[in-house]
Chains A and B, each alone.
Chain A
């Protein structure tokens, strides 16, 4: 593994090839805020809160620290005025969905984000994708996924898979930074529960898990 020399917030860092800026920063104790990052999951780059300023080849650009590879000669600033302004707006956008999410509230204090700057949005979900990616990458079940695109994007459980896999798992629940996941799950469960009708095989509420009635 080749060594890579870069600078983060004025400190020299020796990183290993293949490391991201985020990993290099952590290796010397420089904190870069993240929301969608998870140690067990591949970098995804959805929340963009880890955006930092990086100088390379005489050009300054804004990059997502969780995805941008550490490179020789890179000069990184994790807290420039511009970076802080952008993080503030990003946090405000997420707070419009989840105004009480602990992690967001804590970051809001650091960056001066106003949770009421934007009108409250209907969904709690900030689409960090932790549940979707955990289910796909770690559990390899793909029980929860993204649907629609743009501002209509949302997460949803796929009933046929969820009914088989989710009951004994629910490992994605604690990953959720906003508690949206429970809501989504409960909703799916509700949608999937047909009206109570007596008798085996008539599709009552226990469909799918360990009940042998079907």
Chain B
């Protein structure tokens, strides 16, 4: 392990690392984030190592396991540099061919490269795949280039240069001013200007101060922070150290979810290596700046993403919020001034220092600068992590990058901002991703969750789903959050089960007003959003559930019935054989009938019925016709 006691030593080491690397030498990189782990990246890695040895090409090729590339739908992903040829859904048995063709013969393995789902057009280079081409990956970009456990890799891409610049060329005030003029806003959800927050902590009196990384990412379907922490922990650390220097802290904490084992592991390795090489500890690089970091693993409560709850949890107390003021900037961890930012926010800091506030703030909109990582999931062709400049439209993200809705279905809504975000309809797809624009549209930026829904999704049921999540995850301390969510959930459950009644919408609105207006923390203050945004944009659907006992999306099980049209049924028996509830009656060549009281509404018959007959229909809000005995 190298030892750095001056910036010159660090720079000399960087040159040494770079001079030992041949940029023309082929390098096989394999995505090793959590998502690719799930699709077998470990086995692929073993196969690559074995094959390199078997073919005797160890001297001609490098192999690197990197962080998440973002195109998780298509993992495990192998990219061969320097060309950037990208292979998708790679399995161990593909490796022999990849090494033979790609490395030895300089050819492309056609069957493993990206093919457009609509046109079939094949694209060998990663940067030309539409999913990547339309992104601007300032933060995630490094994930592709470095092995998160390798300090040399991070140093080679210019790691810790921002720290050196800050420690030796800038005062703490200048650092804060730089972040202020970059107009960086917190990526955790609320979008508070980070520089302003830092300044509060910097100016707060007290010798002991703390900086904290919030890696308690809890939104269902969102994993931006996990990927950054797994893929580039050194960048988060560097940002944190710069923040510590700016506010005058000598101790930092990383609060990371226990459920993110790989993030915990990579972070621990990064901290150990930084400490061993003198980048953490006392008198870092001879600057006189001392800094140490402790890792705290959260036990999985969603509320601990809220900063005062997180700090309580760090202190060993129950994860429940405190009233603000006092804000953590003046009275935070152990009562000391504390600056807490989200992972993505911290990862932006080295970028701002290296490139300058002006370069950073040239990207984005008036009120929101830089890029934002979104976790694009749901009914969309290309699920994964996307990083776009602020100001990109939802339409571009969902259709240009995401490749639209699969299966020829129609787009219905996109939910942004996590469980307490909002659902926006097609008519608002040109909304720009910008803290203020999204809020104005009735959704929110949140931490970057983006769930796409198609025409088969019932928005009343979606509101119910998110309220159920929030009712489990509210800490229960204050009445409007605990009781308000409980009552709203009851009403929504009743609606989706056919027990909605006149006045329910008004009651939901009254409950929402109280929960939003009087809850203690952001969880309660935003909890009614799923209800309010769907009420605004999909009110007809609520009305249909209440007045007609009808689910227009044909999704709520209690409100639908499967029915076999006698004139179309050929009596083939396909539905009869598949029905797990023995709810279908009918002899061969006879019209089949669904016995409604036995039906569990699994939809098996609908799928089983041959397309040529198309005899099964889903009914909602209308009576099921009486069966007529007829020859098929």
Contact = CB atoms under 8 A, between A and B. Distances in A.
Interface of A: 43, 45-49, 51, 62, 64, 67-69, 82, 85-86, 89-90, 93-94, 96, 117-119, 126-127, 129, 146, 148-153
B479 interface: yes
B473 interface: yes
Given A85-B510, A90-B480, A151-B476, A67 B323 contact: yes
Contacts, number: 101
Interface stretch (B86-94, B514-522, B558-566): B514-522
B325 interface: yes
Interface of B: 301, 303, 318, 323, 325, 470-480, 482-487, 489-490, 507, 510-511, 513-514, 517-520
Nearest to B472: A150
Contacts of A94: 479, 483
A127 B510 CA distance: 22
A151 B486 contact: yes
Q: Which residue of B325, B487, B507 has the most chain A CB atoms within 10 A of its CB atom? A: B487
Contact of A85 (B479, B484, B514): B514
B444 to A, nearest CB: 18
Q: What 3 pairs across the A-B complex have the smallest Cβ distances?
A: A153-B476, A93-B483, A89-B514
A43 B476 contact: no
A46 B478 contact: yes
Nearest to B319: A149
Given A86-B480, A149-B301, A151-B476, 11 more contacts: A48-B520, A51-B518, A62-B517, A89-B480, A89-B511, A93-B480, A149-B474, A149-B476, A150-B475, A150-B485, A151-B471
Given A64-B323, A64-B520, A48 B480 contact: yes
Given A90-B480, A146-B318, A151-B471, A48 B519 contact: yes
B224 to A, nearest CB: 25
Nearest to A152: B476
Contacts of A146: 318, 476
Nearest to B519: A48
A68 B323 contact: yes
A76 B478 CA distance: 22
A47 B479 contact: yes
Contacts of A150: 470-476, 482, 485
B487 A118 contact: yes
Q: Which residue of B318, B482, B510, B518 has the most chain A CB atoms within 10 A of its CB atom? A: B518
Nearest to A43: B323
Contacts of B510: 85, 89
Nearest to A52: B518
Q: Which residue of A49, A90, A151 has the most chain B CB atoms within 10 A of its CB atom? A: A151
Contact of A149 (B323, B475, B484): B475
B253 to A, nearest CB: 23
B331 to A, nearest CB: 12
B135 to A, nearest CB: 36
A117 B506 CA distance: 13
Contacts of A47: 478-479
Contact of B518 (A64, A117, A127): A64
Contacts of A153: 475-477, 482
Nearest to A35: B479
Nearest to A66: B323
B485 A85 contact: no
Contacts of B477: 45-46, 127, 129, 153
Given A62-B517, A150-B485, A90 B479 contact: yes
A85 to B, nearest CB: 7
A85 B470 CA distance: 23
Given A118-B487, A150-B471, A153-B476, A90 B514 contact: yes
B318 A93 contact: no
Contact of A45 (B323, B484, B485, B507): B323
B553 to A, nearest CB: 27
A143 B121 CA distance: 69
A93 B484 CA distance: 7
Contacts of A51: 517-518
A69 B325 contact: yes
Contacts of A48: 478-480, 518-520
Contacts of B486: 151
A3 to B, nearest CB: 19
B303 A149 contact: yes
A36 B303 CA distance: 22
Given A64-B323, A149-B303, A45 B478 contact: yes
A116 B482 CA distance: 18
A90 B473 CA distance: 20
A112 to B, nearest CB: 12
A127 B520 contact: no
A73 B579 CA distance: 70
B518 A149 contact: no
A119 B303 CA distance: 27
B514 A86 contact: yes
B513 A151 contact: no
8 contacts: A48-B520, A86-B513, A146-B318, A149-B303, A149-B472, A151-B472, A151-B474, A153-B482
A111 B282 CA distance: 61
A148 B301 CA distance: 11
A89 B247 CA distance: 43
Nearest to B323: A67
A159 to B, nearest CB: 19
A46 B323 CA distance: 10
